Structures are given as structure tokens and as C-alpha cells.
Amino acid sequence: MENLQNKQPILTLNDLYASNVIYTSRPSYGSNPWLELEEHQCNFSTGRELIISGQTPILVHAACVTNKLSLLFKTVGIKIPSNIWKFENQTTYEKLIKKLAHEYGKKIHFQYAHEPEVLKNKHYALDKETLIALNNKSRLAEWTGYKYLPKREVVTVAEFENSVSNWSFPFVIKPAGDLPTAGGYGVMICYNNEDLKNAKQKISKASHMTNSLIIEQKIEAVNNYSVQYVYSEKEGIRYLGATEQLIDQYGHYKGNHNVQKVPLSVIQAGKEIMEIGVKNGYFGIAGFDLLVDKKNNIFAIDLNFRQNGSTSMLLLDPFLHDGYHKFYNYISPCDNEKFFNIILKYIQKGLLFPIAYYDGNWFNNESVKSRFCGVWHGSNKDYIERIEEEFSKEIYDNK
């Protein structure tokens, strides 16, 4: 296997954040009806930035940094960074954040805003109100400079029933306001009355926390790009690259793959949006979902002023084979040991690059499925799809 020890990511978190900053990608433990707050998935997400953290300390769940991850990383010639703060549950997570801020004088860079009981705004590395405002879907027009907009309407929950009756299928319903969404959860694509009925049920359950909704044109996209940028005082604005998002017909996230040729018009549209974000106080990594239809019109449907699922894949390009790259998440469908050993086998073959591993066997008193995310990489898409199929047969065989 190729020796990767002397290779480095395109950039790391310490290229972006001050030396007194600590990073956490975990959503708050607080209630949010529009975010898939399955506890183990949220814990798993904390391991995703380990490999690109550089010297920036990060908060990581203990199940993300067991000997199993050490072995996966060792296989590709890298080590788990030492600058990590481990937590085990909500109590230890929130206690650790408060200790780092209050006793150690650290600033916390949150991927998602937390409740004020967890930490006051003055301890945020990126201003909390800026983070919330830029990720508020109802304010998308402001952050795009009133360009690249699908037809959309922002209505109160009370107005929704009457307003939606004026729309023709298909259309999209999204929560407005300050609560974050991710992975397509909270996005309700309606093709028919049954979909609309299901959406209304979700809205009813969330009405105690949601004041307004967005009804939006469903774009028939030819391409679905996630274009990513970074800003720091040192770097200025820099284009990191783009991936194409893989989603199902209802908008749920299924991974990303790399794209070699992105239209300059799409890159420029994303840069314009990033410039507006920076003018409003943003720094760090951001990714914007830009759709292109058959007439080459560009539509901004979601702005994520935070790191994205495929950010690590873009930054780890020097470690990957030239050709086709696909970022993907797996939850063990079988025995955790079998799952791990099959993953290890494909990493040893040089076809799968590890990013994060959540060790279900770390938990002694409950049955937890292990989780893994990484990048398939090889000469071309057809080849990798055949390898993926072989991998899936192995992990699903006899479970």
C-alpha cells in the first residue's frame, strides 16, 4: 500500500481557527423536531473531523476513538490526533463544554448552536446569532443577494393550510426559523396528496417549536452540487471544490461523489453567497446546495454555513487515488466484529479510506450498532460500484 505518512490534508481546522478555539460538530442534546437526533448518529458525527483537525482540539465521543479506529487509521499510515477531549453522554458533554469555556478560557466553535443553558454567546468562537441567522432557511434570499431563487413562499403555521392549497404538485415544504436541519430531515417533498398528508402530520407534531414554514418550487435538477468554500483572515475566500449530492426522491441524503468539471457559473454563484456570509461575520467552511436545471438555470435550495458530510472527502484529496471518489456512511447490519473486519479488509485493499468509526462494542450495557464513514476511491465509477456491491453482499450475507 502507498505510504501516506508524508501527505497532508488540503487544509486543517487550525488553518481556520485561533489557538484558543475548540471545535464540536455535535448537535445539541436539546429537542429539535427537524433534525434526526438519534443519539448514536449524533455521537458518530463527532468523529468526522478527527482526520482534518490538525492542532485544533475537538470534542469527540469516546466510542469514536477506540482501538478499532486506531487500527483503521494505522492501515493507511495515519494516527488518531492527541488533541481531543472525550465525552460519554449528555452530562459529560455539557460539563466539559462549560469547563473548557469557564475554567480554561476557551472559545467553542459550534457546528450547531446550543441552548444558552449549555453556554452563553460570549463563549462562542463564531457569534451565535450569526451562525443561526445564516442557517435560517427563511432568510435564504438575503444570503443569495436575492438571486438564484426558486419560487418560494414563507408562511406562518396558521396560514399554511390555506397557502399550500394554491400550490400544484410537486413542491417542497421546509421549516423556517432558527432550528437547524441536516441530511434532508425536515425537508418534505410532496408529489401527491398522501405526501402532503404526511407532511401535515409532521408539521402538527412540530408546531410547538415552529412558527413558520417555507413552500418552495420543486426543481427538476440535472445536477445537484454541494459547492464548498472556506474563509479565514489568513486564507481569504477559497474554493475547496464541489461534490454531487446523492439523494433519494424525497431528498434524504445518501452520500456524495466527486465531480471533475463544475460549471464556472456554479462556482461563481457559490462564491457570491460566501462573500455575503463573510460580510455578515462568517468564517470557516461552508457548503451550498446549488441545483442546475436543463436550461442551465442555477437555484440555491439550501445554504449550510458549517462543514458538510463531504467536506473531509474534499480536504483529503491528496490521500485518495486519482479518479472516482464517493463518501458514504454505513450502519452495521450484522455482528459488529464482522462489520469491522470487512471494512478493514477493503481498507487494506486500498479501495476504502477511513474517516470515522463508531464502535458499538464500546457500550457495555446496551446493544449498539457500529457505524463507519469513509471514501471509496478508484479509477472510475463503474469499478467502484462493483466493489461497493461486493462489500454490501459481504456485510449483508447471513448478517
End-to-end, the C-alpha distance of the chain in Å comes to 30
Q: E strand or H helix at 63, and its extent? A: none
386 is catalytic: no
Distances in Å between the Cα of 205 and the Cα atoms of 201, 202, 316 are: 6, 5, 40
Q: What is the C-alpha separation between 85 and 331, in angstroms, rounded?
A: 24
Torsion on CA atoms 129, 135, 136, 137, rounded to nearest 10: 170
Are 201 and 244 spatial neighbours (Cβ–Cβ below 8 Å)?
no
Give the residues across from 335 on adjacent strands.
none
Exactly one of 139, 152, 238, 306 is catalytic; which is it? 306
CB-CB neighbours of 162 under 10 Å: 9
Helices (H), the chain: 39-44, 67-75, 90-102, 128-134, 140-143, 157-164, 193-206, 264-279, 311-315, 336-348, 381-396
- Annotated catalytic residues are 306
